[in-house]
């Protein structure tokens, strides 16, 4: 299955809407928070968050995603600090949690590498998509 077919199957399975849940940026498919929520809801995912680091200027969160029976499906991390948060308000903990969750959900459905969360979209704007 090629990338286009894979993305089409994800869009259909999770009823993703191209106007609300995804957008393209420099040829890369970016999924929004609502898209992540639709996937998580359909899969009945459960999250376990663990604070790795929480300081005034840097936070890192670990997210373990489990299926409805408690079986671990994926683990990922999210971090936030001055250089990767545009918001003037410094909600580093919340941003790190959101990033960890989005990445873990995409890994759980084997879509990481095909879809990227909107929190990672800034990397594509800067050309760091590797």
Q: Given this model, what pLDDT does residue 82 score?
A: 87
User: What is the model's pTM?
Assistant: 0.88
Tens digit of pLDDT for each residue in 95-128?
A: 999 999 999 999 999 998 889 988 776 555 545 4
pLDDT at 35 over 70: yes
Q: Given this model, what pLDDT does residue 63 score?
A: 98
Task: Report the distance separating Cα 45 and Cα 27, nearest Å.
Answer: 29
Q: Per-residue DSSP letters for 33-86?
A: HHHHHHHHHHHT-EEEEEEEEEETTEEEEEEEEE-TTS-EEEEEEEEEEGGG--
pLDDT at 11 over 80: yes
Task: Report the distance separating Cα 130 and Cα 128, nearest Å.
Answer: 6
Q: Given this model, what pLDDT does residue 88 score?
A: 62
Question: Please, what is the average pLDDT of the chain?
Answer: 89
Q: Given this model, what pLDDT does residue 83 score?
A: 85
Task: Report the distance separating Cα 95 and Cα 68, nearest Å.
Answer: 25
Q: Which residues of 7-17 are buried (b: 16+ CB within 10 A; e: fewer)?
A: beebbeebebe
Q: Given this model, what pLDDT does residue 36 score?
A: 96
């Amino acid at each position: 299955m090629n990338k286009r077919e894979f993305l089409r199957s994800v869009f259909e399975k999770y009823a993703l809407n191209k106007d609300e849940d995804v957008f393209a940026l420099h040829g890369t498919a970016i999924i929004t928070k609502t898209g992540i929520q639709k996937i998580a809801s359909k899969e009945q995912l459960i999250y376990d968050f663990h604070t790795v680091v929480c300081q005034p200027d840097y936070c890192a969160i670990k997210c373990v995603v489990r299926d409805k029976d408690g079986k671990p499906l994926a683990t990922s991390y999210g971090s936030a600090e001055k250089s990767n948060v545009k918001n003037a308000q410094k909600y580093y903990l919340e941003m790190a949690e959101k990033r960890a969750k989005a990445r873990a959900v995409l890994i759980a459905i084997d879509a990481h590498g095909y879809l990227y969360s909107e929190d990672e979209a800034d990397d594509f704007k800067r050309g760091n998509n590797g």
